[in-house]
Amino acid sequence: MAARQPDRSRAAEPERGLVLAVLAASADEAEELGEFEELARTAGVEPVGRVVQRRPYPDPRTYVGKGKLEQLREAYTAAGAEVLLVDDELSPAQQRALEDALQARVVDRTQLILDIFAQHAVSAEGKLQVELAQLEYNLPRMRGMWQHLERLGGGVGTRGPGEAQLETDRRLARRRITLLRGRLAGLRQQREVRRKRRRRSETPAVALAGYTNVGKSTLLNALTSAGVSVRDRLFETLDPTTRAFEHEGRRYLVTDTVGFVRRLPHQLVEGFAATLEETLVSDLVLHVADASAPEHRLAEQIAAVDLVLREIGADELPVELVLNKIDAVDALTRRRLANRYPEALQVSARTGEGLDELRARIAARFAARFEPVRLLLPYEDGRRLNELYALGAPIDERTDTPEGVVVRARLPRRELRRFARYLVAEAPARKRRTGA
């Protein structure tokens, strides 16, 4: 029992990773690599050093030049690193060249983010999406996994087992990819059925989008009492979470989506359709940004999110910019933010500041969707009352009379025709005001 204890503590220690990047001559190293190193820590790797090469573009074969490759070998050994982390998406050839040069594991930006997603996926669909994205990423890189067989003797005579196993693995991977795509398609159909119900009820759907770690989940909790995890980690939210809140008798659905980062790999944008589709099918996007971030970083983060929204086709949806964490900002910075983003709401999900105004802003967006009506529903048509409640509880007042149930409600405009025969005039007091 005691002998196993040290193994557990060692397993809890983060891996030691050396960071490698090719940057343009004008790029700020600390700014470019700061986020990547935070991604590494989220994945359980502690950066122990950096190797940076300044050049316009990476070497197509080895990623860095020959001279820098020798320097990289020395730095990797000196740092006692266990893995090389590359702040870029490597081609299979570049990854194999670096692995051969260092005789070590090489993890690029895409693989690192996929690893974080694998840690944070909770739902069955989220786990399926992670597995699919990892398989599609690894498929063209499988040859490198069999290099140990090639090294046994090299050349003719050693290719057989490796090649046969490689082709078997590729075939199994392709079969698994087809299976996963089928399962995800079935889940997408289930989501579409749920969305149709929501659209029929005219319940407004709001999606929270924004850079990772800007407080979207905290805002969802503050608006809806959702109880979503809000730990201070990048990509803490992966699976979409939908909750509701009510404002002046109307119900609104709010969905928290995965956070974005700069240079989010394109295959991840394609692969995580479940989360991103919730943005696409929403009626309004709340673009949440971190008001406490430095001014230039805030602008970069807003631009990065806008770019992803364009990539997924959500840029045509109405968007409200919400500057969160305003409680961490002084009065002067608040004024500067108000001047730079005059239409943005300044809120604090932590303290509740500005949330009432945010709810009112959301409600105002959808005010024209509903028509105030007064209905008389005969008791023999009781099913119509049930249908009315099924439309998202639009009833403000209900009175039972000898003739039937009189209700005052805010009816979705598309449902006016269905309930037209039950429409009655307003109460006399309201008529007098109108006549006056």
Q: What is the CATH number of domain 203-365?
A: 3.40.50.300
Amino acid at 77: T
Closest CA to 376 of 406, 411, 352, 344: 406
More confident residue, 434 or 289: 289
pLDDT at 197: 59
Average confidence (pLDDT) over 75-82: 95
Average confidence (pLDDT) over 411-428: 80
More confident residue, 436 or 331: 331
Bridge partners for 395 per DSSP: 409
Q: Encoding tokens for residue 146?
A: 């069999």
Average confidence (pLDDT) over 418-423: 89
Rg (CA), the chain: 28
Domain 15-119 belongs in CATH node 3.40.50.11060? yes
pLDDT at 148: 41
- N residues, the chain: 436
Q: How far apart are CA 320 and CA 365, in angstroms?
A: 10
Residue 177 has pLDDT above 50, yes or no: yes
More confident residue, 357 or 304: 357
pLDDT band with cut points at 50, 70 and 90 for residue 416: confident
pLDDT at 196: 63
| CB neighbour burial string for 386-417, b if at least 16 within 10 angstroms, e if fewer | eebeebbbbbeeeeeeeebbbbbbbbbeebee
Bridge partners for 374 per DSSP: 408
Crossing angle of the two packed helices 159-201 and 124-138, in degrees rounded to 10: 140
Helix, strand, coil: what percent of the chain each, to 5?
50, 20, 30
Average confidence (pLDDT) over 108-120: 85
Q: How far apart are CA 346 and CA 38, in angstroms?
A: 27
Residue 46 has pLDDT above 90, yes or no: yes
Average confidence (pLDDT) over 284-291: 94
pLDDT at 101: 92
pLDDT at 323: 97
Q: Encoding tokens for residue 155?
A: 């050349």
Average confidence (pLDDT) over 171-193: 80
Average confidence (pLDDT) over 260-280: 66
Residue 139 has pLDDT above 80, yes or no: yes
pLDDT band with cut points at 50, 70 and 90 for residue 213: confident
pLDDT at 432: 41
- Sorted by sequence, the CB contacts under 8 Å of residue 313 that are 6+ apart come out as 280
Backbone angles phi, psi at 48, to 5 degrees: -115, 5
Residue 431 has pLDDT above 70, yes or no: no
Which of 12-16, 235-239, 264-268, 293-297 is the most confident on average?
Answer: 293-297
Given its phi and psi angles, is residue 46 left (phi above 0), alpha (psi -120 to 50 degrees) or beta? Answer: beta
**Residue 28 Cα distances to 23, 56, 137, 364, angstroms:** 9, 14, 29, 43
- pTM equals 0.69
Going through 67-203 in order, the beta strands assigned E by DSSP cover 83-86, 105-108
Q: Rounded mean pLDDT of the chain?
A: 80
Given its phi and psi angles, is residue 109 left (phi above 0), alpha (psi -120 to 50 degrees) or beta? Answer: alpha
DSSP 8-state symbol, 262: T
Average confidence (pLDDT) over 105-116: 89
Residue 11 has pLDDT above 50, yes or no: no
pLDDT band with cut points at 50, 70 and 90 for residue 269: low
Choose the weakest-confidence range: 14-23, 104-113, 205-214, 225-234.
Answer: 225-234
Residue 55 has pLDDT above 90, yes or no: yes
H/E element, 242: strand 241-247
Q: 3-class secondary structure for 303-348?
A: HHHHHHHHHCCCCCCCEEEEEECHHHCCHHHHHHHHHHCCCCEECC
pLDDT at 198: 56
pLDDT at 57: 92
Residue 154 has pLDDT above 70, yes or no: no
pLDDT at 1: 40
- Within 10 Å of residue 72's Cβ, how many Cβ atoms? 21
pLDDT band with cut points at 50, 70 and 90 for residue 120: confident
Give the model confidence (pLDDT) of 384-395 as tens digits: 888 887 776 567
Closest CA to 378 of 343, 403, 352, 342: 403
pLDDT at 227: 64
Angle at the Cα of 57 from the Cα atoms of 55 and 62, rounded to 5 degrees:
95
Q: How far apart are CA 345 and CA 111, in angstroms?
A: 36
Residue 229 has pLDDT above 60, yes or no: no
More confident residue, 427 or 243: 243
Given its phi and psi angles, is residue 200 left (phi above 0), alpha (psi -120 to 50 degrees) or beta? Answer: alpha
Q: Encoding tokens for residue 339?
A: 């001047």
Residue 233 has pLDDT above 90, yes or no: no
**Residue 321 Cα distances to 164, 167, 358, 363, 388, angstroms:** 55, 50, 10, 15, 34
pLDDT at 265: 67
Which of 89-98, 133-142, 189-198 is the most confident on average?
Answer: 89-98
End-to-end CA distance of the chain: 88
Give the model confidence (pLDDT) of 309-361 as tens digits: 887 777 788 999 999 999 999 999 999 999 999 999 999 999 999 999 999 99
Q: How far apart are CA 368 and CA 373, in angstroms?
A: 13
CATH fold label, 370-435: Alpha-Beta Plaits (3.30.70)
- Pairing outcome for strands 345-346 and 319-324: parallel
